[in-house]
Chain A
Amino acid sequence: MLFYKIKNLYQLVYTIALKNIKVKYKNSVLGYMWSLLHPLAYLIIFIFVFSQAFANIERYPLYALVGLIFWTYFNNSMNQIINSIINNASIIKTIALPNILFPLSAAFAELVTMLLSLIPFFSLMLFFGLQITWHTALVVPAIFVYAIFTIGIGTLMGTFNVFFRDIGILWNTLSPALFYFTPIAYLSNLIPEKYQAFVQANPLYHYMTLFRDILFYNQMPSSRTIIITCLMAFVTFTVGLFMFNRYKKGFVSNL
């Protein structure tokens, strides 16, 4: 019974995710290329603007690229997951389906897009001086943990966004700020010592550290980073699903 439920949910998630991907690029000439061009445009700007300022960082383009790929994934996923329930209002109101399907398929679509973008980006990373060691394989579990975190926080915000559309607007307002607050283009020690507590309070800081350790420094992430990132993923995922289940009964009357 449980197996059947999971298989059924997977088929639904797959179908809706595929639809999301198709619709996203349907009317554009470059289609899927856009998901590569977007981070690349930022990368070029960063190289122009910061490579002098961060001359002390060896292989700066690689440093920035790693940050940009995983920021873009987070940002895109959040945009999609937060609005996934509202965007599917007409389906939710007319067909009986497990509604968790909508945040999950939004997350799945973005994950697939990101994984596909990793193929060309890996070549680019090699060009910028990525060394492939056995540490590189750690990127797989790291992406998994990061995806869980993204789904958790997105589902949490998406649930409340049904009742208070302010949440979606709030995210749109805050995401550029979060982008600059997260050490993507710069080293975190650029921020004065007395503000380090704020830096550490940003969950994305820890995920960036995780990916940089693996792909830039070619080292095993510290156990502190591993514990923090896994714990945050677990907590946000649990809270996100809990809140979703608790408030889903109000979806139909608020959509």
Chain B
Amino acid sequence: MNEDFVISVRDLYVNFWISGTGVNSFKDAVMLFGRQRALQKKQVLKGLNLDIKKGECFALMGKNGSGKSTLLRTLAGIITPEKGSIQIRGTVAPLLAIGAGLEHELSGYDNIRIMGTLIGLRGKELKESVQTIKNFSELSHDDLSMQIKRYSAGMMARLAFSISVCRIPDILIVDEALSVGDQGFQEKCAHRINEMKAAGTTIIYVSHSLTELKRICTRGACLENGRIAKIGPIDEVGMFYEQSFQ
């Protein structure tokens, strides 16, 4: 692996294993046990190659269903690839769906501790992060003591985002997560991403908004049907992506 690259993907294949629905699939699985697989295979990523340099801000584009989210999840270690290799240097913080995993019956503080543990914070680091998250989210002590089911959508997003970005990772993966919160908070998010960028974090950014991608990223790729159709400077890839709709 080249020293400059933090992510190297070679010949990556990812399959979905899908169980059919309804009586028939269950019956088939039982009746044909051993003769036919109960799960149907669907290839989502088909031999993908990708290198991302350290400190780079990389844009990922593509139509719905082209495999962007699957690629992000595979890079984050959530999906195990069928074939091929992925080499990743450093810690990965995925920002895939804002608010996922928050427990609505519990307080903001409880959720910070739970989500913090899940994303890998322990002991002293976890304790310190509570204050960081409190400051960043601008939620008051009263807000955080309250069960989060009483939060507004914006407050929920503030809490979730603040937990996800409370420490600076080596690689940040963002899946259209920033269109939440009020304008002030959106600016704050953009500012935090710039901070991370300055600190040397590599960012992979998925969005359908070309202006947003152009503002943040320098290089990008466009996915089509599980393969990379175009990779290069952001302007070229952006043009390619726009043309694919004409």
Contacts and interface: CB of A to CB of B under 8 A. Distances in A.
Interface string B192-225: 0000000000000000000000000000000000
Nearest to A16: B114
A253 B17 contact: yes
A254 B17 contact: yes
Contacts of A96: 76-78, 92, 94
Contacts of B101: 88, 90-91, 94-95
Interface in B83-134: 92, 94, 96-97, 100-101, 103, 105-106, 110, 113-114, 117-119, 122
A95 B118 contact: yes
Contacts of A16: 114
B114 A163 contact: no
Interface centre among A22, A26, A27, A94 (most CB of B within 10 A): A94
Given A93-B96, A166-B26, A254-B17, A23 B105 contact: yes
A93 B72 CA distance: 11
B114 A15 contact: yes
B94 A15 contact: no
Contacts of A247: 17
B100 A254 contact: no
Secondary structure class of chain B's binding surface, majority of residues:
mixed
Interface bin, chain A: 20 to 34
Contact of B78 (A12, A94, A163, A250): A94
Nearest to A248: B80
B19 A163 contact: yes
Interface centre among A16, A166, A248, A249 (most CB of B within 10 A): A249
A38 interface: no
A96 B25 CA distance: 30
Contacts of A250: 16-19, 39
A164 B17 CA distance: 13
B79 interface: yes
B73 interface: yes
A93 B117 contact: no
B38 interface: yes
A94 B26 contact: no
A163 B97 contact: no
A165 to B, nearest CB: 9
B193 to A, nearest CB: 18
B105 A254 contact: no
Interface of B: 16-19, 25-26, 29, 38-39, 42, 73, 76-80, 92, 94, 96-97, 100-101, 103, 105-106, 110, 113-114, 117-119, 122, 147
Smallest CB-CB A-B distances: 7 pairs: A250-B17, A96-B77, A253-B16, A163-B19, A90-B100, A91-B101, A94-B100
Given A22-B110, A94-B100, A250-B19, 13 more contacts: A11-B117, A11-B122, A15-B118, A23-B103, A91-B101, A91-B118, A95-B100, A163-B19, A249-B79, A252-B78, A253-B16, A254-B17, A254-B18
Interface of A: 11-12, 15-16, 19, 22-23, 26-27, 88, 90-97, 163-164, 166, 247-250, 252-254
